[in-house]
Structure 1
Amino acid sequence: MTNQSIQPIIHNSRKRRQRTVFVTLVLFALALTLSATMLMLGNTIYPVADVIRVLFGEQVPGASFAVGTIRLPRMLAGIFAGLAFGIAGTVFQTMLRNPLANPNVIGITTGSSAAAVFGIVVLQASDTFVSIISIIGGLLTVLAIYFLSKGAAFSIGRLVLVGIGIQAMLTAVINYLLLISRQNDVGTAMRWLSGSLNGVKMETLPPLMIAVALCLPVILRLSRQLQILELGEMTATSLGVKTNQTRVLLIVASVLMLALATATTGPIAFVAFLAGPIAKRLVGDGRSTIIPAALVGVILVLAADLIGQFAFTARYPVGVITGMVGAPYLIYLLIRMNRRGEL
């Protein structure tokens, strides 16, 4: 190739890189603004100076309890759950080359939810034990989907269909458990199933924070291989990607974050479904969307929680607000895919 023919390619690559950096910085600034807003707003509005003093360990009457004990864990849960849902969603959608192939639709979060409801309703378990069996439920669901969809060769369509079938079965299990549960357990289970940041305590956050800190570098390291997997199995293999090994590492890292996020906040609806497409639309084709999707996930969770707390006369869990946004988008996506003949 001549120098003149290479220059447009280099120019376009530089423009895409600059766009990605700009979008990431804007998303980061918006997430930071929402985080600060969550710390300041409540029944009492505290100024930025008081919030900063509390964060640095000073005792400020009223603010120390409200900010340090209630709002800070809520904000951190929103940040790390948003990161986990956003990253896991875009990994599955990119790897399986299908916007419907996200953890909500193919039953992974439903597996965690079914296990948690079983712990609440049948075992009368503590919050810690409910979190543990929720994680186990998510991991077992992934294994079931993988083995039931395994054939002579990897098939995206088969995996999605098996996942949807398992989700339907697990939803029926959840409904049955709610039907036979005691009245006071129904409220607890429903609050958990709706996806909520209410009542999150600082001591419940370290497992989720550690999982994100460990799994995010692994996924970022594999982001190039993930982009190649989007081109298809044969292309990825011909380009030297160890497809099975890469796919297993991506799935394990994503599911671990997803299961711990679900165990901490409940299955916040549609965040994993929306974060990837929004990030891809903002960044454009040809660039990794892992970090932008993670930040979009944070923004969706924090913004939805603020809307649920302050936009209505009644207070709604974050999952109710994200569901109100995500359900119409799912319908739109299904109509568009049907028109294109992709369904």
Structure 2
Amino acid sequence: MQPSKTILLGSQSGWLNILLSKHTLKWCVVLLFFTVAVATFALSTGQLKTTFAELSQVLFGEGEKFLTTVVLEWRLPRLTAGLVFGAALGVSGALFQSLIRNPLGSPDVIGFNTGAYTGALVVIILFGGSDLQIACGAIIGGIICAGVVYVLAFKQGIQGFRLIIIGIGVSAMLSAFNTWMMISSSLETSMAAALWGAGSLNGLSWHQVVPSLSFIGIALLGAAMLARKMNILEMGDDSANMLGIHSEKTRQLAMVFGVILTAAVTATAGPIAFIALVAPQLAKKLTREGGVAIIPAALMGAMLLTLSDFIAANLFAPNQLPVGIVTISIGGFYLIYLLIQQSGN
């Protein structure tokens, strides 16, 4: 009897039911190793150089007071944001690409993160809200934008290309509204909003990061629960309905969880482009598997954003770039490659 080539996370009839091949699991371990390596360098690199021995002492509660403050209060919140936000964007992209059945089906391409940006700007500029209120505003803005695009794109079901085109149009209008809000506000507020709009993890504290982590945790759990249904849905609505899966309800839930993941990141770090587009596709190229690659996409997203932030923080040190500039530079080249590949088909 041959050993099984797949591993089940959860149970057949349980709420968690994710099937991984051993090949995929190997790549997940590789991605996890590289992510941990990048995270270690990020914690130990900066204007205050830290050896691995000193870093270990800090993490085990035996380091010097000043060094402990630098690592745990300054660097660790930023690193945690990079890891968790990257995973959230990777999973969000995987959900939307499966939902739309198009490699361009990413929340930043469709424009849902622009809706989240609008919601956050309204809270910042008009109400001067707290971090939690900004997070809620971004999520509400993202969900409203997704709802508008969904309604406009719905025509006897959802067609991927139609959703993308309408999403781009709605995003363009919201971008114009965002610009109007910024030029109509005070100089100090508009400059802060513009800097935040570039997408940055610079200077994040635990107080800023924790509200978004709560929303992301809930949405990641919801995405994991939907993974099996989304995989079945890729075989077609008829097959899904025969297996007792409500196709449209599953799509709506996937869209809600995907928007929450994107909006929670946008609320804290601003709109970070292209991670949601690139991470799921690179994960699929490595694992060579179809379906919704939740875990590989999360690990790839975490690694890409953490690596991008490491580059942004150290490339022109002591000056630090917003991580959004690095992700746009990398993602722009990948998008050009993707469009050329699509036109060749």
In the aligned structure 2, how far is the partner of 1:71 from the partner of 1:13?
38
- The alpha-carbon deviation at position 12 of structure 1 amounts to 7.7
What SS does structure 1 have at the residue aligned with 2:65?
coil
- The alpha-carbon deviation at position 11 of structure 1 amounts to 8.4
Q: Pick from 319, 338, 341: which aligns with 1:333? A: 338
Say whether residues 1:21 and 2:35 are aligned partners.
no
Q: Deviations over 1:313-340 (max 9, x none)?
A: 5421111000000012112212222232
In the aligned structure 1, how far is the partner of 2:291 from the partner of 2:258?
20
TM-score with structure 1 setting the length: 0.89
Answer whether contact 1:20 1:287 (CA < 8 A) is retained.
no
Say whether residues 1:217 and 2:221 are aligned partners.
yes
Structural mapping, 1:54-203, within 5 Å: 54-58=58-62, 60-203=64-207
- The alpha-carbon deviation at position 120 of structure 1 amounts to 3.2
**Matched residue type, 2:333:** P
- The alpha-carbon deviation at position 258 of structure 1 amounts to 1.8
Answer whether contact 2:197 2:271 (CA < 8 A) is retained.
yes
**Matched residue type, 1:103:** P
Q: Where does residue 43 of structure 2 map in the other structure?
A: 39
Answer whether contact 1:80 1:209 (CA < 8 A) is retained.
yes
What SS does structure 1 have at the residue aligned with 2:108?
coil
Q: Deviations over 1:159-203 (max 9, x none)?
A: 222211111111111222233333222321121111111121102
- The alpha-carbon deviation at position 59 of structure 1 amounts to 5.2
Q: Deviations over 1:2-28 (max 9, x none)?
A: x9xxx8xx98879x8221011000001
Say whether residues 1:322 and 2:332 are aligned partners.
no
Say whether residues 1:262 and 2:288 are aligned partners.
no
Further displaced range: 154-163 or 19-28: 154-163
Taking a change above 3 Å as real, the CA distance of residues 118 and 207 of structure 1, as seen in their structure-2 partners, is closer
In the aligned structure 2, how far is the partner of 1:285 from the partner of 1:128?
38
Taking a change above 3 Å as real, the CA distance of residues 287 and 106 of structure 1, as seen in their structure-2 partners, is closer
In the aligned structure 1, how far is the partner of 2:254 from the partner of 2:191?
35
Q: Deviations over 1:72-119 (max 9, x none)?
A: 110111111111101001110012101111100111100111222333
What SS does structure 2 have at the residue aligned with 1:64?
helix
Say whether residues 1:308 and 2:305 are aligned partners.
no
What SS does structure 2 have at the residue aligned with 1:227?
helix
**Matched residue type, 1:150:** F
Q: Pick from 277, 287, 303: which aligns with 1:273? A: 277
**Matched residue type, 1:53:** Q
Q: Where does residue 229 of structure 1 map in the other structure?
A: 233
**Matched residue type, 2:274:** F
Answer whether contact 1:31 1:299 (CA < 8 A) is retained.
yes
In the aligned structure 1, how far is the partner of 2:54 from the partner of 2:144?
45
In the aligned structure 2, how far is the partner of 1:122 from the partner of 1:221?
37
Say whether residues 1:294 and 2:298 are aligned partners.
yes
**Matched residue type, 1:339:** G
**Matched residue type, 1:182:** S
For structure 2, the 5+ residue unaligned runs are 8-19
Further displaced range: 194-203 or 115-124: 115-124
Q: Deviations over 1:136-170 (max 9, x none)?
A: 21111111112222233332232222211111111
**Matched residue type, 2:50:** Y
Further displaced range: 87-96 or 233-242: 233-242
**Matched residue type, 2:181:** L
Taking a change above 3 Å as real, the CA distance of residues 285 and 162 of structure 1, as seen in their structure-2 partners, is same
In the aligned structure 2, how far is the partner of 1:46 from the partner of 1:60?
12
What SS does structure 2 have at the residue aligned with 1:104?
helix
Answer whether contact 1:17 1:287 (CA < 8 A) is retained.
no
- The alpha-carbon deviation at position 127 of structure 1 amounts to 4.1
Answer whether contact 2:135 2:212 (CA < 8 A) is retained.
no
Answer whether contact 1:276 1:293 (CA < 8 A) is retained.
yes
**Matched residue type, 1:277:** Q
In the aligned structure 1, how far is the partner of 2:142 from the partner of 2:4?
44
Answer whether contact 2:31 2:299 (CA < 8 A) is retained.
yes
Overall identity of the aligned pairs, in %: 35
Further displaced range: 129-138 or 299-308: 129-138
Answer whether contact 1:80 1:208 (CA < 8 A) is retained.
no
For structure 1, the 5+ residue unaligned runs are none
CA RMSD of aligned residues (A): 2.3
- The alpha-carbon deviation at position 68 of structure 1 amounts to 1.4
In the aligned structure 2, how far is the partner of 1:284 from the partner of 1:273?
17
What SS does structure 2 have at the residue aligned with 1:199?
coil
Q: Deviations over 1:233-277 (max 9, x none)?
A: 334334443212222222222222221111111111111111111
Further displaced range: 97-106 or 158-167: 158-167
TM-score with structure 2 setting the length: 0.89
In the aligned structure 2, how far is the partner of 1:289 from the partner of 1:126?
35
